Amino acid sequence: MKKKEKAKRKTSTRSSPAKGKATRHDDFLTDLASLARMEEMDKGKESLGDRIRRVREMRGLTIKDLSSRTGIDIDTLERAESGEMIPALGQLVRLGKALDMKMGYFISPGIDKLMTVVRKDKRRPISRYGETKSMRYGYSYESLAPEKADRLMEPFIVTLVPTDVEEFSTHAGQEFLYVLEGEMKVQVGDRVDFLKPGDAVYYDSSQPHFVRCVGPSVTKILAVLYTGST
């Protein structure tokens, strides 16, 4: 009982990013909370935490070893493997590198097919937030290739909502963003630019970066993440 109360106090004392303050974050596509919902749809299959734990054990690594390799604290890794939390995309990138697996395997292992098609009305939501959380993090997104196994790229349709929070991310790989509608602010290192429909940006995600919606309307973008081959 004391252990549970301690964990509860630990969770409740975590501070939220201050409005308008630039902070480091794992990824602008972070917080894969809805993966739990996706896994409910795929009952009988391994959960995200199961996949992380199985691969870690297959590599002969302890939680402490994995923490050392990824820079992710032990508590977070234990909670991820037990299914208590879903790692951010930036953390999944680091887990993939440390475990010699493609990041996409943890999101969705997929099937070994020549090609997969995702119809507009059949896209599987990877993240859907309540109003408060959505406004805090400033985005929601859908995977465009969850069923393709061994993929080298991770494509998403991302919906950015108005927010003043600017959260920087740094992780391995590269990102390509193409604006479909609305306006977007992007910063990579010290460079800042504003993109409108039809504009695109490509950058090394190893550099501190963030994007956010500009103005009162939502912005939709096509985002493709490449985390490198394993």
Residue found under tokens 């429909």 = 197
Alpha-carbon span 152 to 163, nearest angstrom? 31
Q: What is the pLDDT of residue 32?
A: 40
Q: Which two structure tokens, joined as six digits, stand for 33?
A: 């909370």
Does the pTM surpass 0.95? The reply is: no
| 99 within some domain | no
Whether pLDDT at 184 is above 80? yes
Alpha-carbon span 173 to 170, nearest angstrom? 9
| 90 within some domain | no
In DSSP notation, 40-82 reads HHTTTSPPHHHHHHHHHHHTT--HHHHHHHH---HHHHHHHHH
Name the percent of the chain lying above pLDDT 90: 29
Q: Of 37-41, 140-144, 154-158, where does mean pLDDT reach its minimum?
A: 37-41
| 78 within some domain | no
CA 193 to chain CA centroid, Å, is 23
Write the single-letter amino acid at 138.
G
Q: Residue 195: which domain range? A: 120-226
Alpha-carbon span 29 to 162, nearest angstrom? 15
3-state secondary structure of 227: coil
| 37 within some domain | no
Alpha-carbon span 29 to 34, nearest angstrom? 12
Q: What would the pLDDT profile of 98-117 be if each residue is shown by its tens digit? A: 998 887 777 776 677 778 88
The average pLDDT across 199-226 equals 92
Name the percent of the chain lying above pLDDT 70: 68
| 73 within some domain | no
Q: What would the pLDDT profile of 62-89 be if each residue is shown by its tens digit? A: 999 999 998 889 998 998 898 887 676 6
Q: What is the pLDDT of residue 139?
A: 64
Alpha-carbon span 170 to 219, nearest angstrom? 22
64-73: list long-range contacts, CB under 8 Å, 24+ apart: 66/95, 66/98, 66/99, 69/98, 70/94, 70/95, 70/97, 70/98
The average pLDDT across 35-48 equals 53
What backbone torsions phi and psi does residue 111 show, to the nearest 5 degrees? -125, 145
Residue 134 — pLDDT band, cuts 50, 70, 90?
A: very low
| 94 within some domain | no
CA 72 to chain CA centroid, Å, is 15
- The CATH code of the domain that includes 202 is 2.60.120.10
| 194 within some domain | yes
Q: What is the pLDDT of residue 189?
A: 94
Work out how many domains the chain is built from and give that number.
1
Residue 125 — pLDDT band, cuts 50, 70, 90?
A: low
| 7 within some domain | no
Among 176, 166, 178, 179, which Cα is nearest to 211's?
166
More confident residue, 41 or 117: 117
